[in-house]
């Protein structure tokens, strides 16, 4: 997506998510060279059937996860604005998870380090997968001066809102 | 070790609450692949010698949940459920979409082999190698939505407790039964995600007879290694590109058929197949799209088509009812077949069926059967516990569906499925009601008629299929035709959604198999050897049948009698299947697959395929 001025942001329209999880497939194939949903940096939650959505880093303006890291294993990419993890330095303390307003980071299922979306160095594979099927839940845009942190919400919070949007006022009861 | 497989299967004995890992010889996996093929092999090896005496609803039946080597790789993930079918007394490879197969492989298992029966309701919990048979008394009796909500919450809490970490756990994949399965109703499904179902076969009843309410699985590993990752990625893209071009199914799902099969090809069941034509434009898919859809694309793991849609009734007395599309089959079976022609009533009835854990096709078939008997005065309101079962009355059908699921009153008879109910009602009324039963070998015929000759099944397709009325697997010639069940067996054994193959070359699935497993396989090799072996195992067990009855091929390799009645309306008015022509085609098919004139697999065919043991057992049928 070279046409977008860096740093970039992944705009998201969650209620349109089909739940196909192609973003998880693309992410894990890119980063792990395997199809590995639990090791994907973007995870599709389905706490209620029909209410699927991709859950991944929003790059908060103040990067609370980076600030919370006791060993400075997290840092911000100058180029893309993504949070990058130094896997060797990471001690798996999960302080970043606690600091994240959306509880987004999660541990690698087999290795002792945290997983956070790195925007694939500026060419996010999840977006390509989502666009290729024209679901377009995810879209790359240039990062501006917005309150991206508002998007950092827990899966439960997002589910509750989307369930009401999709199923009506009683949607939350399925949680 | 063959690439693409996790390498082991989990066998669970519910009677003793014990489990062990099972591994199959490479040769078995090469020949039977997985899913439907492997199910036939496992069932034959373990139960073949005493098949007629095995009660499908007894503890001796084996319930299988099998992935295949292509599960998770070929776009559109599914899992195959099988066992001795309480509908056909044979074997059905019944697949259901969702993430279950992927989670299972990521947990390190290619499948589950469930034996025995639990004393009290249980559910099976699988988190990688952490296996537990857990109490399910608190979820027994719950409907689909309650079951999924309760287990999702409970399992995520369990993950957190047993594997403490601060990062959040995703949900497990869950297969479950509703009240219908608990009450071993023969039209009960094994379900996933509220609306997805392994319907054909009636395995929800088998699960219920074992008191197994659900299975929840979470795998944290990767999918197994493949032989050629670059090739697999390329083929994945090829399949997806083909599917992306299929605008009809992407946009409307099979629901587009609700109008086209009714109005154009004239092959849709209407009022228990008394007609197959309607021109009711208000029941077209555009009305569903504009009135009830709240999500236009809904799908499962890796699927490029996402043919499902989410529907919610927004106003009126059925406000709040939720289901998927409904797809073509349910628009037909819970719509036109019951004289229902509004999206709202159709969605409502589908949601009731989902919640009860019933099969929309099989239950719609038996409801239509009962309604026709009521129309003809053979069944009265008195027989039906006071219910006036009139065409188009969605609430009456919903009430009767509940009585079926709970086996209440007359529902107890209909809970046996159309064929067995017809036998019982016939005895009760002292008359033959089989002419109104639109089924083949215990399985209600899918919503694709044969009389107009304009739909995909041939006039012998259901009659000769090893899965009876199952519209997803029909007999066709040439036997390597893409509609033929010998090809369908490959999709159901590789275990992926065969709705993603329509826009690709017919050799692609076999190339995909080679890229994943590293084993050579061409379409010809498949059709003429491996697929025939599986077909013959299924045919053998179907003919052996029992314990309540045995199919006679000369009688039961036939269409429902209704298909010999001329179509009374529409552009193909007057058309019907002709018995003589059906018999001729049937004999051609028997010859093509190597069965004798009566439809029993020939000794020489079985021996050529290396199925000497099957030949021995089938001697008693010759």
* Alpha helices (H) in B308-443, listed in sequence order: 328-333, 343-356, 360-375, 394-405, 411-414, 417-429
Q: What is the pLDDT of residues B31-61, one digit of tens each?
A: 999 999 999 999 999 999 999 999 999 999 9
Best mutation target among A16, A20, A114 (most B Cβ atoms within 10 Å) is A20
Distance between CA atoms of residues B119 and B210, nearest Å: 8
Cβ neighbors of B460 (< 8 A, separation 6 or more) are B475, B582, B585, B586, B589
What confidence score (pLDDT) does residue A170 get?
A: 86
Distance between CA atoms of residues B454 and B457, nearest Å: 9
From the list B170, B180, B117, the residue with the least C-alpha distance to B143 is B180
Cβ distance of A50 and B102 shorter than 8 Å: no
Q: Which tokens is B548 given? A: 């309540």
Q: Are B68 and B189 a contacting pair, CB within 8 Å?
A: no
Is the pTM of the predicted complex or chain greater than 0.95? yes
From the list B560, B562, B537, the residue with the least C-alpha distance to B614 is B537
Q: Is A43 on the interface with B (CB under 8 A)?
A: yes
Best mutation target among B102, B149, B222, B245 (most A Cβ atoms within 10 Å) is B222
Cβ distance of A35 and B233 shorter than 8 Å: no
Cβ distance of B310 and A166 shorter than 8 Å: yes
Query: Could you tell me what percent of chain B has a pLDDT over 90?
Result: 97
Place of tokens 């869950």: B174
Q: Which residue of B has its CA nearest to A44?
A: B170
Helix (H) / strand (E) containing B10 = strand B9-13
Q: Is A91 on the interface with B (CB under 8 A)?
A: no
From the list A156, A146, A124, the residue with the least C-alpha distance to A60 is A146
CATH 2.102.10.10 fits B246-444, yes or no: no
Q: Spell out a b/e string for B555-578, using b for 16 or more CB atoms within 10 Å of the CB, else e.
A: ebbbbbebbeeebeebebeebbbe
From the list B39, B42, B176, the residue with the least C-alpha distance to B492 is B39
What rounded mean pLDDT belongs to chain B? 97
Average pLDDT value for residue range B330-337: 97
Distance between CA atoms of residues B138 and B154, nearest Å: 11
Q: Locate the domains of chain A by residue range.
A: 8-174
What confidence score (pLDDT) does residue A3 get?
A: 60
Assess whether pLDDT exceeds 80 at residue B282: yes
* Cβ contacts of B148 on chain A, cutoff 8 Å: 48-49, 174
Assess whether pLDDT exceeds 90 at residue B257: no
* Cβ contacts of A94 on chain B, cutoff 8 Å: 165-167
Cβ distance of B298 and A18 shorter than 8 Å: yes
What confidence score (pLDDT) does residue A6 get?
A: 86
Average pLDDT value for residue range A121-136: 96
Largest CA distance in chain A: 47
Q: Which residue of B has its CA nearest to A97?
A: B167
Q: Are A17 and A52 a contacting pair, CB within 8 Å?
A: yes
Count how many Cα atoms sit within 13 Å of the Cα of residue B473 in the half-sphere of its side chain.
28
* Cβ contacts of A15 on chain B, cutoff 8 Å: 295
Chain A: nearest CA to B353, how far in angstroms? 16
Assess whether pLDDT exceeds 50 at residue A2: no
Chain B: nearest CA to A77, how far in angstroms? 23
Cβ neighbors of B439 (< 8 A, separation 6 or more) are B365, B417, B418, B419, B445, B468, B469, B560
Average pLDDT value for residue range B416-441: 98
From the list A101, A58, A92, the residue with the least C-alpha distance to A74 is A92
Which of B294, B306, B310 lies at the smallest CB-CB distance from A20?
B306
From the list B499, B496, B534, the residue with the least C-alpha distance to B516 is B496
| Strand duo B439-440 + B443-444: pairing | antiparallel
Cβ distance of A18 and B295 shorter than 8 Å: yes
Q: Is A84 on the interface with B (CB under 8 A)?
A: no
Cβ distance of B310 and A37 shorter than 8 Å: no
* Cβ contacts of B347 on chain A, cutoff 8 Å: none
Residues 53-82 of chain A whose Cβ lies under 8 A from any Cβ of chain B: none
Cβ distance of A133 and B244 shorter than 8 Å: yes
> What's the gap between Cα A172 and its chain centre?
23
Q: Which tokens is B211 given? A: 């008191």
Which of A18, A48, A155 lies at the smallest CB-CB distance from B299?
A18
Q: Is the peptide bond before B291 cis (omega within 30 degrees of 0)?
A: no
Distance between CA atoms of residues A124 and A128, nearest Å: 7
Q: What is the pLDDT of residues A6-50, one digit of tens each?
A: 899 999 999 999 999 999 999 999 999 999 999 999 999 999 999
From the list B141, B10, B94, B81, the residue with the least C-alpha distance to B406 is B141
Assess whether pLDDT exceeds 70 at residue A1: no
Best mutation target among B147, B166, B315, B497 (most A Cβ atoms within 10 Å) is B166
Best mutation target among A49, A107, A128, A136 (most B Cβ atoms within 10 Å) is A49
* Cβ contacts of A106 on chain B, cutoff 8 Å: 165, 167-168
Q: Which residue of A has its CA nearest to B310?
A: A50
Assess whether pLDDT exceeds 80 at residue A4: no
Cβ distance of B306 and A135 shorter than 8 Å: yes
Best mutation target among B74, B101, B170 (most A Cβ atoms within 10 Å) is B170
Cβ distance of B322 and A167 shorter than 8 Å: yes
From the list A131, A112, A139, A158, the residue with the least C-alpha distance to B167 is A112
- Work out the angle at residue B307's Cα, subtended by the Cα atoms of residues B304 and B309, and round it to the nearest 5 degrees: 125
Which of B72, B106, B306 lies at the smallest CB-CB distance from A38?
B106
Considering only CA atoms, give the Rg of chain B: 23
Chain B: nearest CA to A106, how far in angstroms? 4
* Cβ contacts of A125 on chain B, cutoff 8 Å: none
Best mutation target among B156, B301, B315, B355 (most A Cβ atoms within 10 Å) is B301
Give me the residues paired with residue B132 across strands. B125
Which of A25, A98, A175 lies at the smallest CB-CB distance from B149?
A175
Which of B195, B294, B297 lies at the smallest CB-CB distance from A18?
B297
Q: Are B45 and B37 a contacting pair, CB within 8 Å?
A: no
**ipTM greater than 0.95:** yes
From the list B492, B497, B80, the residue with the least C-alpha distance to B300 is B497
Chain A: nearest CA to B431, how far in angstroms? 46
What confidence score (pLDDT) does residue B292 get?
A: 97
Query: Could you tell me what percent of chain B has a pLDDT over 70?
Result: 100
Q: What is the pLDDT of residues A55-99, one digit of tens each?
A: 999 999 999 999 999 999 999 999 999 999 999 999 999 999 999
CA distances to A25, A132, B30 from B72, rounded to whole Å, are 9, 19, 19
Q: Locate the domains of chain B by residue range.
A: 9-218, 246-444, 588-622
Chain B: nearest CA to A64, how far in angstroms? 15
From the list B602, B496, B488, the residue with the least C-alpha distance to B539 is B602
- Output the CATH code of domain A8-174: 3.30.70.20
Cβ distance of A20 and B221 shorter than 8 Å: no
Cβ distance of B297 and A135 shorter than 8 Å: yes
What confidence score (pLDDT) does residue B530 get?
A: 98
Give the CATH class of B9-218.
Answer: alpha beta
Which of A32, A155, A167 lies at the smallest CB-CB distance from B168?
A155
Which of B102, B171, B299 lies at the smallest CB-CB distance from A47?
B171
Cβ distance of A18 and B233 shorter than 8 Å: no
Can you point out the beta strands (E) in B219-367? 293-298, 308-312, 322-324
Best mutation target among A18, A128, A132 (most B Cβ atoms within 10 Å) is A18
Q: Which tokens is B52 given? A: 């007629």
Chain B: nearest CA to A24, how far in angstroms? 9
Assess whether pLDDT exceeds 60 at residue B70: yes
Position B258 confidence tier, pLDDT thresholds 50, 70, 90: confident
């Amino acid at each position: 997506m070279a046409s977008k001025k860096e740093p970039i942001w992944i705009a998201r329209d969650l209620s349109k998510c089909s739940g196909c999880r192609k973003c998880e497939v693309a992410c894990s194939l890119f980063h792990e060279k395997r199809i590995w949903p639990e090791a994907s940096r973007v995870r599709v939650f389905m706490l209620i059937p029909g209410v699927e959505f991709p859950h991944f880093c929003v790059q908060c303006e103040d990067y609370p996860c980076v600030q919370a890291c006791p060993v400075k294993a997290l840092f911000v990419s100058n180029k893309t604005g993504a949070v990058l993890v130094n896997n060797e330095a990471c001690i798996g303390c999960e302080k970043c998870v606690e600091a994240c307003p959306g509880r987004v980071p999660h541990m690698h299922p087999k290795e002792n380090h945290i997983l956070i979306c790195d925007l694939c160095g500026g060419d996010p594979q999840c977006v390509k997968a989502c666009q290729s099927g024209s679901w377009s839940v995810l879209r790359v845009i240039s990062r501006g001066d917005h309150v991206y942190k508002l998007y950092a919400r827990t899966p439960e919070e997002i589910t509750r809102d989307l369930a009401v949007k999709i199923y009506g006022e009683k949607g939350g009861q399925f949680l | 070790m063959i690439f693409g497989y996790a390498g082991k299967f989990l066998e669970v004995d519910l009677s003793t609450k014990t489990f062990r890992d099972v591994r199959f010889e490479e040769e078995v996996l090469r020949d039977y692949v997985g899913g439907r093929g492997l199910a036939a092999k496992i069932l034959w090896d373990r139960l073949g010698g005493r098949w007629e005496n095995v009660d499908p609803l007894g503890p001796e039946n084996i319930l299988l949940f099998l992935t295949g080597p292509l599960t998770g790789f070929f776009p559109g993930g599914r899992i195959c459920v099988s066992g001795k079918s309480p509908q056909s007394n044979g074997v059905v490879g019944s697949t259901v979409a969702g993430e279950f197969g992927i989670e299972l492989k990521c947990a390190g298992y290619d499948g589950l082999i469930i034996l025995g029966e639990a004393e009290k309701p249980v559910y099976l919990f699988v988190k990688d190698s952490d296996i537990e048979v857990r109490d399910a008394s608190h979820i027994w009796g719950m409907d689909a939505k309650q079951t999924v909500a309760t287990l999702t919450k409970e399992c995520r809490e369990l993950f957190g407790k047993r594997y403490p970490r601060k990062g959040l756990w995703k949900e497990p994949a869950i297969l479950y039964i509703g009240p219908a399965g608990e009450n071993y109703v023969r039209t009960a499904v094994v379900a996933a995600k509220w609306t997805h179902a392994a319907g054909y076969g009636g395995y929800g009843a088998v699960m219920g007879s074992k008191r197994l309410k659900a299975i929840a699985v979470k795998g944290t590993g990767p999918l197994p290694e493949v032989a050629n990752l670059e090739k697999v990625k390329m083929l994945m893209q090829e399949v997806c590109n083909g599917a992306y071009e299929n605008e009809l199914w992407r946009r409307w799902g099979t629901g587009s058929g609700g109008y086209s099969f009714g109005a154009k090809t004239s092959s849709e069941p209407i009022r228990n197949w008394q007609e197959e034509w309607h021109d009711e434009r208000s029941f077209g898919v555009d009305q569903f799209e504009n009135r009830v859809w709240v999500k236009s694309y809904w799908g499962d793991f890796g699927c490029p088509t996402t043919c499902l849609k989410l529907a919610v009734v927004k106003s009126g007395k059925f406000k709040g009812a939720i289901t998927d599309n409904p797809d073509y089959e349910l628009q037909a079976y819970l719509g036109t077949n019951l004289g229902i022609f509004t999206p709202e009533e159709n969605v409502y009835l589908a949601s009731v069926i989902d919640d009860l854990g019933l099969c929309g096709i099989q239950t719609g078939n038996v409801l239509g059967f009962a309604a026709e008997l009521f129309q003809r005065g053979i069944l009265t309101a008195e027989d039906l516990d006071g219910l006036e079962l009139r065409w188009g009355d969605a609430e009456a059908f919903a009430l009767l569906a509940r009585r079926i699921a709970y086996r209440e009153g007359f529902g107890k008879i209909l809970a046996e499925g159309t064929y067995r109910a017809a036998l019982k009602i016939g005895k009760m009324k002292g008359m033959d009601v089989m002419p109104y039963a639109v089924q083949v070998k215990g399985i209600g015929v899918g919503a694709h008629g044969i009389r107009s000759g304009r739909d995909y099944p041939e006039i012998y397709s259901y009659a000769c299929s090893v899965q009876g009325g199952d519209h997803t697997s029909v007999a066709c010639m040439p036997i390597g035709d893409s509609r033929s069940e010998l090809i369908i067996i490959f999709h159901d054994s590789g275990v992926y959604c065969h709705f993603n193959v329509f826009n690709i070359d017919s050799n692609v699935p076999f190339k995909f198999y080679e890229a994943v497993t590293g084993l050579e396989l061409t379409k010809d090799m498949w059709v003429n050897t491996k697929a025939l072996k599986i077909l013959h195992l299924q045919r053998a067990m179907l003919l052996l049948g029992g314990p309540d009855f045995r199919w006679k091929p000369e009688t039961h390799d036939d269409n429902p009698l209704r298909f010999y009645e001329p179509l009374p309306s529409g552009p193909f008015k007057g058309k019907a299947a002709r018995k003589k022509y059906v018999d001729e085609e049937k004999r051609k098919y028997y010859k093509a697959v190597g069965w004798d004139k009566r439809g029993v697999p020939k000794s020489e065919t079985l021996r050529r395929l290396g199925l000497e043991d099957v030949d021995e057992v089938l001697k008693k049928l010759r």
